[in-house]
A and B are shown apart, each in its own frame.
Chain A
């Protein structure tokens, strides 16, 4: 399966990153690229529960392709969510089912962000994405 263009870029940048500090700075930069959600979209129904910081996730199928948007108050989780969206936006429903999301974060060198004890909310965001696309 071909990677979306944003995902290719993300992979190149993060695989070239050395050390926690550079990865954290890159995460914050990616977070800044996330287009803002409207206030109306930042509603209770779109709030992902189980996150340390508030994260909102909105997804819709447009012409058979998923388009997600998201927001968070915290910068690093925003970066993680941006990397998630880089991987999945534009995929068809069938393509999305095939994506190994934990594997994706592993390829980026960020698998520790998905350990069960992490309360940063990335696991909860992945769970919500599965529910939205079921």
Chain B
């Protein structure tokens, strides 16, 4: 069966990587970029860079206009409507740290923060460290056998002491949607704030933060075919009102004297210093590009690729999947073969996949595994990429067994 990607040629790096003998299947780590983004970056730098929200001159006005247009595009991408604001940060990690510091004042000793057992370090460590600073209890929601957060257990663990729930929409290791509606409803019933780590989820399908009903939604641009150094924080208006200013500096201030200052509200109040202007403009171009694609075609293509990958892996002796991956990626190990050896031989054959603990060490300890190989897909991958991976895998296993 052939599964061509109609969008492959829109991403020039894919052809370049192919010329270097590389098959890129590490898309959950970062993605290649569409030509539309490269053009937007070149246009911005070639036609006059300027700082935003500061200068009265024309280049400043153009840059600010393009910057704010991108904010609107992100808002539309998430269907935020008028219910909240988009804050630009320097990455998803920065956005989560902003929340963990900016909301710190709401917590008192004994309060509970609820996360899940599958969280990436970025959505674990900021909360773990906040819990340590404020003597809070970090409650970890367990997973069921399929690698999905156990809703029944969550119903027992999310309670009146829960002040905040922070969970991933889609695990970067397990490849399964998490039961956000049930979890968010539980948290809201107890008056807790809700944070969704959409770093993986935002890349697959379209998501509506109004329908989701979370207080905060976080993602990083570079995983969504955008530039790096840029994160997005959506915050519901009432929730943003509770966020204290965290990083201080240029343009986030209203009035300043030597001993006192007042600060702007969101979004600018949380964008201290010069933001990554080009990256923001570039993300806007990426979203224009993505918005022009037929969403159902993209979802169908990714589902067909995932199916192809999954069945090919299951057809091979000794392959053990991690969890029950449904989309986007598959993590696996092979009985009697060390992941590091497999990773080594796949690398030698030009297969770019990820091996190791995938920034989720506690999850791997919980699973009793030292690591896994992860194959992760993007809309520009095709069945030939997966075939090349299978050939390399077979060759590696032949050598190792």
Contacts and interface: CB of A to CB of B under 8 A. Distances in A.
B356 A76 contact: no
B338 A73 contact: yes
A52 B399 contact: no
Contacts of B340: 51-53, 73-74, 76-77, 120-121
Interface of B: 338-341, 343-345, 348-349, 355-356, 370-371, 395, 399-400
A56 B355 CA distance: 20
A74 B334 CA distance: 13
Contact of B356 (A54, A73, A119): A119
Interface of A: 20-21, 24-25, 28, 51-54, 73-77, 119-121
B399 A21 contact: yes
A75 B355 CA distance: 15
Contacts of A121: 340
A75 B341 contact: yes
B348 A20 contact: yes
Contacts of A75: 338, 341, 400
Given A21-B399, A74-B344, A76-B341, 13 more contacts: A21-B348, A51-B340, A52-B355, A52-B356, A52-B371, A53-B339, A74-B339, A74-B340, A74-B341, A75-B341, A76-B345, A77-B344, A120-B340
A17 to B, nearest CB: 13
Contact of A53 (B338, B348, B399): B338
Contacts of A119: 355-356
B32 to A, nearest CB: 17
A128 to B, nearest CB: 17
Contacts of A77: 340, 344
24 contacts: A20-B348, A20-B349, A21-B399, A24-B344, A24-B345, A24-B348, A24-B399, A28-B399, A52-B339, A52-B355, A52-B371, A53-B341, A73-B338, A74-B340, A74-B341, A74-B344, A75-B341, A76-B341, A76-B344, A77-B340, A119-B355, A120-B340, A120-B343, A121-B340
A52 B345 CA distance: 14
Contact of A120 (B344, B349, B400): B344
A25 B400 CA distance: 9
Nearest to B371: A52
B190 to A, nearest CB: 40
A27 B248 CA distance: 53
Nearest to A52: B340
A110 B118 CA distance: 36
Contacts of B341: 53, 74-76
Contacts of A24: 344-345, 348, 399
B370 A53 contact: yes
A53 B356 CA distance: 9
Contacts of A76: 340-341, 344-345
A47 to B, nearest CB: 13
Nearest to A80: B344
The 9 closest A-B pairs by CB, nearest first: A74-B340, A53-B340, A74-B338, A20-B348, A52-B340, A76-B344, A74-B341, A75-B341, A76-B341
Contacts of A120: 340, 343-344
B193 to A, nearest CB: 36
Contacts of B356: 52, 119
A48 to B, nearest CB: 13
A52 B369 CA distance: 12
Contacts of B399: 21, 24-25, 28
Interface centre among B343, B344, B345, B371 (most CB of A within 10 A): B344
B391 to A, nearest CB: 13
Nearest to A113: B344
A21 B396 CA distance: 9
Nearest to A20: B348
A76 B348 CA distance: 12
Nearest to A55: B340
Contacts of B343: 52, 120
A25 B343 CA distance: 15
Contacts of B349: 20
Contacts of B371: 52
Nearest to B344: A76
A125 to B, nearest CB: 13
Contacts of A54: 370
A12 B348 CA distance: 22
Contacts of A51: 340
A54 to B, nearest CB: 8
